[in-house]
Structure 1
């Protein structure tokens, strides 16, 4: 398998990379869906990055800057954020500076195919200091798909676990995650993931799956695997498990990023169009 990778995540305090690709039906044309999805936000739409329409969601305000886009008014993760819309794509990347400003920040990313949310990743503060609750959700099967978690450190696989649909996981010792974050968020249509060291964490029969990836740089986390063993890593990925009856997507058309935060600076964004 190989992965069309669109970006890497660097951090001041933490470095986060988010990736995903999905199973489901082929999306409809993005143009007609965008209006329905972003009704009320069109006055806050900006074409700052080539081929991408960025629209404010909820109470958010989007302002072009010399560096990119500034997003403010992020009071609720349920409603406030920025929507990225583009033509049918196989991969997407966004580089952002996120100022959570404390331990109450929440970040949720929704991957869309037309008007459907095909996969979600939610990151919220844990009860203990420097901990995070992370919940990946995949819509490829009724009731959601199970997923596999792979944990890496310096590009080397440390361990894997199988998890039921929408299971929340607790990550410890993730220092400063909810204060200030410089992140690259990636979404991709999964063929086969290949790490730069040649490892293949997903099986060939998992083509069409969704996958999210979180990465830290210069900062590690601890997580408990399904066998009870605790391991330390700097990268974690969540890969949907494809089963009989799943129907692979043929591209996707947008990403919604909603947050409770003091503000976001989007430094760059790009996508790779799907084949005709």
Structure 2
């Protein structure tokens, strides 16, 4: 398995209390690189896409999750024996911050707003896929907690990393940009996310030293890309954003471009 080191980036705090980060370039085949995040220092109105404040906040939070996932991978490969106590710290982060804070905002604020104001289905298509992946994350974190040291832990950690890396790609490249534009058109331009409570702050601060000690490690064997075509669900459980979300006006506009 080929892997590479991801250089650490600076952890910024916004006025809302949640972390933001500089742009980081992700290498892609051919030796090129592309930006995976474009959120600057500032408050939670910073946004790389048109949309309400929650869109920018979720994108910034993805960078935090991605770096912790990469750190978990590094630890599972190199640090299990040297730092056995790290397991519990990672698990607390995924349960309290990733699931209890970040995913909770998606499932109780963003997704219901899309269902109510834009008539996006919660029962199939992208939102159903994302909520199913949230539940799979819960299962994998439980497996990580009980896995034996060594290869069993590495196998679970890598599956969790793959799940979350691809989950983030789905949301950053398709779901959040599309959601933001639709909410603006529907007049829902002020939708905001949640603010970290003491428990969320504590687990995030506890994991930061691990991200420094066990610098994020990606997996070159995993294909990552933007758009529906890079999604494993495309053509299986999801017909793509056009089929699932586009309305008649959007189809007419698209067809007019081809004439």
Provide TM-score, normalisation by structure 2: 0.27
- Bigger helix share: 2
Higher RCO structure (Cα 8 Å, ≥6 apart) = 1
Provide TM-score, normalisation by structure 1: 0.26
- Bigger strand share: 1
